[in-house]
Amino acid sequence: MDDKTTYQIQRWTAWTGPVMVVTYLFFWVILGHNFPPPSPGYSGAELVANYYVPHRDNILLGMCFSAWLGLLYVCWSVQLTCQMWRREKVPVLSLMQLAGGILTGWLLGMCAALWVWCARYAGTPNIDPELIKAVHTFSWYIYDMTWTVTAIQCVACGAFAILDKKQPAIFPAWVGWLAIATAATFIPLTFLPYFDDGPFALNGWWSFHVVFGIWGVWFTSYTYYMFQDLKRIRISPMAGVGQAISN
pLDDT tens for each residue of 187-213: 999 999 999 999 999 999 999 999 999
Q: What is the mean pLDDT of residues 215-241?
A: 80
Question: Quick count: other Cβ atoms within 10 Å of Cβ 174?
Answer: 11
Q: Given this model, what pLDDT does residue 1 score?
A: 76
Q: How confident is the model at residue 234 (pLDDT cuts 50, 70, 90)?
A: low
Three-class HEC string of the chain? CCHHHHHHHHHHHHHHHHHHHHHHHHHHHHHCCCCCCCCCCCCHHHHHHHHHCCCHHHHHHHHHHHHHHCCHHHHHHHHHHHHHHCCCCCCHHHHHHHHHHHHHHHHHHHHHHHHHHHHHHCCCCCCCHHHHHHHHHHHHHHHHHCHHHHHHHHHHHHHHHHHCCCCCCCCCHHHHHHHHHHHHHCHHHHHHHHCCCCCCCCCCHHHHHHHHHHHHHHHHHHHHHHHHHHHHCCCCHHHHHHHHHHC
Backbone angles phi, psi at 56, to 5 degrees: -55, -50
Rounded Cα distance between 198 and 136, Å, is 19
The C-alpha atoms of residue 39 and residue 188 are separated, in whole angstroms, by 18
Average pLDDT over residues 2-19: 92
What type of residue is 47? L
pLDDT of 6 reads 87
pLDDT score of 2 more than 80: no
Q: What is the pLDDT of residues 128-165, one digit of tens each?
A: 999 999 999 999 999 999 999 999 999 999 999 999 98
The pLDDT of residue 13 is above 90:
yes
For the chain, the domains span 3-232
Distances (CA, A) of 2 to 8, 20, 38, 215, 235: 10, 28, 51, 35, 9
pLDDT in tens, 39-98: 999 999 999 999 999 999 999 999 999 999 999 999 999 999 999 999 999 999 999 999
